[in-house]
Structure 1
Amino acid sequence: MELFNKTQEEIKTELITAFKNNEYINLTNYNVGGVLRGIFEVVAFFIWLFYDLLNKIFKNAFVQTAEGDWLDLKCTEVGITRKQAVKTIGLVKFARNIAKDENIKIKKGTIVKTKTNSKGKEFVFYTTEEKILVANQTEVFVPVAASYEGKDYNVATHAISILSTTTQGIDYIDNFSDWITTPGEDKECDEDLRARYFLQWTSLAKDSASLYKRLALETQGVTDAVIISEPRGKGTFDLIIRTVSGSPSQEIIIIVSNKINAVREPGIEISVKGPTIKNISINIQLIFYNNVFNFAEKETIAYDAVIAYFNKLKISQDFILSQLATEISTSLKGFLKDIKITSPTQNVTATKYEILQISNIVFSSTKEEEI
């Protein structure tokens, strides 16, 4: 959406034409390299800069098209602020193979990390407390925090395996199942912030459903919310919320419930709950060009694409086979000739209470010449 859609060349041409057609201006040398032509070049450039500024102001004057800091300013007008990124916090096991009659101190600030992934990135964490692996014990769980904010640091089980800070007596480290206590989150995107802006207006019009949804979505940690009207009769609501990890913690459910109870009308019953998890097992055949050799590396990239796809699914959103195939093909562009999802064999639907999650991924890789 632009008010002025002109290039510098078009502006310069219009200036020269206007001067040539003005009978009161007696100038004739508009040739390239001339002083006058140089002046027109400079003037056209600054006019173009001015037009570009006007276009940005015009675009960002409306919530529907505003972006970044401009959208933040518009949302501030109605009391909404962008949710900020959050660091992943969790527990990592520090262990020795054999119990010994000596204490081992794990210092605060000890650095642990994952192996470098297929994209050349490693995820670094540091311990936030000093802990002691006491004598005659083989393990201790130590609180850690990610070095940076973002949901990418919500790494998989057993991914944290490298102890960067030398700690005598520790044989290995590991992050077990459900190791995350506070999931990392990305900074709220423009699309989600814009949606909350419009919910703010509809909730002001005494639309109870919009109000409850807005209160849920403004809560740190909540990434999606669905309001279901009259599940148990008139005056009842179910509010289904999800977080980065899928199901919300009891703490988040209590926070959202307290917000809603503070504003709900008498006689209204609202139940805040997490979604029902519907697990999907996927088998994928990757068919590479015959000059591709490192299947394991490419399967890791495909795995990341699958996880990213399912992390974006919202409550009640269906799993579409073609969408996942496109995500994987895009991530392996130039390497992948074809992809076949052999299980499930058809799209998977989700009810209004459900969210779809991966329970297992199996890849089989071949080259085109082997088909």
Structure 2
Amino acid sequence: MKPEDLLPIKTFQQLLDESKAKLKELKFRITNLRPGGVFHTLMEIGHQGLADLYSLLGKITPQIYLDTATGFWLDFKAADYETYRWPAQKTLGNVVFGRNAPGGNKIIDAGKIVATEIDLSGNRLKYIVAAKTVLEAGQLEVAVPVKAEFEGAAYNVGAGQITFLLTYIDGIDYVRNDDGWITREGTDDEDDESLRARAKKKWNTLSVGPGADAYRYWASQVPGTVVIDVDDQHPRGQGSIDVIIASTSGIPTQSLIDAAQAMLDKKKALCANVLAVGVEPVVVDWDVILYVDHELADLNEEDRTEQLAAIKAQGEEIIDIMFQYGDTEHADIEKISIRYGVIREQAIGNLLKIDYVIKPVINQPAADVPVTSRQLAVKGTVNVTVLIAS
């Protein structure tokens, strides 16, 4: 039963018909109750307000229960459980600024902008230098702190994606982001289902001796954290517990692990030996052939080349999104399973959503890639080839 079914919600027409029947039963002196009559019009005005009230009750009733509340109503309900929605936050990290030959000191002022390539939608992700940095004389490279232009998990890009310097700096020849460049993961606004699930887990923390579910709840209170597993079978000796975590972008940064550890230290029992542990990466390289509809062969060479390049870029983008564990903007693309790892059929299904693709062939990985409770699949190299089916 739905919460709104608890109330006898009536429609405008039901209310009007009931009133007419009651007036006839009472032998009301006014008998012209046909539409268009003066008295009927007055009845409609009064009953419309009552019908609106019934409609409002039908919408409000689900919002008073944790299982069915949404939006701001869910925020208020979750607050009763001392659980609050994660706000979106910007990605922070370090981007390498470099030059091809040694030279003197070069100042990189705050506010300079670096970016990724333009994607298929004509957009690019921009990052702003967060603090003035000096590339000292004789050095070729320096790591510069940057922050994303806007909040969101989309800014947690992989290594080698940030390659453009949009604001000119004399003496700087290139920029790049290396492995481990992120110092704080960017996150989207937490969705309703995630907040609801965390609020329900609050009950697990109320026992005198907290169990695995309590540690799972406490670690998940740190924005950007994805709790993979809780190993409470004494992994480091009697009384030890490991809380294995990832981030919404995959492998957690040390700052995220430290934040989770601080939360666990604050909440755990005094005698408990609890450790936040980052997942171990399982790198998965991709070699994919996308066979496309033969009708593309009828295009002129320029249009055909452009279309095949667009399909290749879409394939690479889909594989990238599959590994964005905290992504909420691409609900149509199934993400890699945190629990089961890479399933080839799942990837094939995602790639078949590209226009003109009739058959994806995955050469690598050659088989499904399972993971343990302490591992997480992460994207390695990606090679996508597009061929016209014969």
TM-score normalised to the size of structure 1?
0.84
Instruction: Find the counterpart in structure 2 of residue 205 from structure 1.
Output: 207
Instruction: Find the counterpart in structure 2 of residue 17 from structure 1.
Output: 17
* Correspondent of 2:145 among 136, 140, 143: 143
How far, CA to CA, are the matches of 2:95 and 2:179 in structure 1? Answer: 10
Instruction: Find the counterpart in structure 1 of residue 4 from structure 2.
Output: 3
Instruction: Please tell me whether the aligned partners of residues 284 and 339 of structure 1 are also in contact (alpha carbons under 8 angstroms).
Output: yes
Instruction: Find the counterpart in structure 1 of residue 195 from structure 2.
Output: 193
Q: CA deviation at 1:2?
A: 6.3
- The unaligned stretches of length 5 or more in structure 1 are none
Instruction: Find the counterpart in structure 2 of residue 323 from structure 1.
Output: 346
Matched pairs, number: 362
Q: Which residues of 2 match residues 226-241 of structure 1 at below 5 A?
A: 226-232=229-235, 235-241=239-245
* Correspondent of 1:246 among 246, 250, 255: 250
Label 1:147 to 1:41 Cα distance change in 2 as closer, same or farther (>3 A). farther
Instruction: Find the counterpart in structure 2 of residue 362 from structure 1.
Output: 383
How far, CA to CA, are the matches of 2:39 and 2:167 in structure 1? Answer: 67
Match status 1:27 vs 2:40: no
Q: CA deviation at 1:36?
A: 7.0
The code of the aligned residue for 2:14 comes to E
Coordinate RMSD, CA, aligned: 3.1
How far, CA to CA, are the matches of 1:66 and 1:126 in structure 2? Answer: 38
Instruction: Find the counterpart in structure 2 of residue 288 from structure 1.
Output: 292
Q: CA deviation at 1:227?
A: 0.9
* Bigger mean CA offset, 249-258 vs 189-198: 249-258
How far, CA to CA, are the matches of 2:194 and 2:69 in structure 1? Answer: 13
Instruction: Find the counterpart in structure 2 of residue 62 from structure 1.
Output: 65
Instruction: Find the counterpart in structure 2 of residue 118 from structure 1.
Output: 120
Please list the CA deviations of residues 245-291 of structure 1 after superposition, one character each: whole Å capped at 9, or x if unmatched.
43333443344334334444465433331222222233333222334
- The unaligned stretches of length 5 or more in structure 2 are 297-303, 326-335
The code of the aligned residue for 1:128 comes to A
How far, CA to CA, are the matches of 1:118 and 1:36 in structure 2? Answer: 62
Please list the CA deviations of residues 114-171 of structure 1 after superposition, one character each: whole Å capped at 9, or x if unmatched.
2211122211111111223344443333211111111111123232233222323333
Please list the CA deviations of residues 278-327 of structure 1 after superposition, one character each: whole Å capped at 9, or x if unmatched.
22233333222334532222222222222222233464333333322233
* Correspondent of 2:183 among 176, 181, 184: 181
The code of the aligned residue for 2:168 comes to T
TM-score normalised to the size of structure 2?
0.80
Percent sequence identity over aligned pairs: 26
The code of the aligned residue for 1:3 comes to E
Instruction: Find the counterpart in structure 2 of residue 90 from structure 1.
Output: 93
How far, CA to CA, are the matches of 1:278 and 1:136 in structure 2? Answer: 38
* Correspondent of 1:157 among 131, 156, 159: 159
Instruction: Please tell me whether the aligned partners of residues 85 and 187 of structure 1 are also in contact (alpha carbons under 8 angstroms).
Output: yes
Q: Determine helix, strand or coil for the equivalent of 1:74.
A: helix
Q: CA deviation at 1:38?
A: 6.6
Q: CA deviation at 1:11?
A: 3.4
Q: Determine helix, strand or coil for the equivalent of 1:194.
A: helix
* Bigger mean CA offset, 212-221 vs 241-250: 241-250
The code of the aligned residue for 1:81 comes to Y
Q: CA deviation at 1:49?
A: 4.1
The code of the aligned residue for 1:184 comes to G
How far, CA to CA, are the matches of 1:175 and 1:97 in structure 2? Answer: 17
Instruction: Please tell me whether the aligned partners of residues 86 and 149 of structure 1 are also in contact (alpha carbons under 8 angstroms).
Output: yes
The code of the aligned residue for 1:365 comes to V
The code of the aligned residue for 1:167 comes to I
Q: CA deviation at 1:201?
A: 0.7
The code of the aligned residue for 1:222 comes to T
Q: Determine helix, strand or coil for the equivalent of 1:158.
A: coil
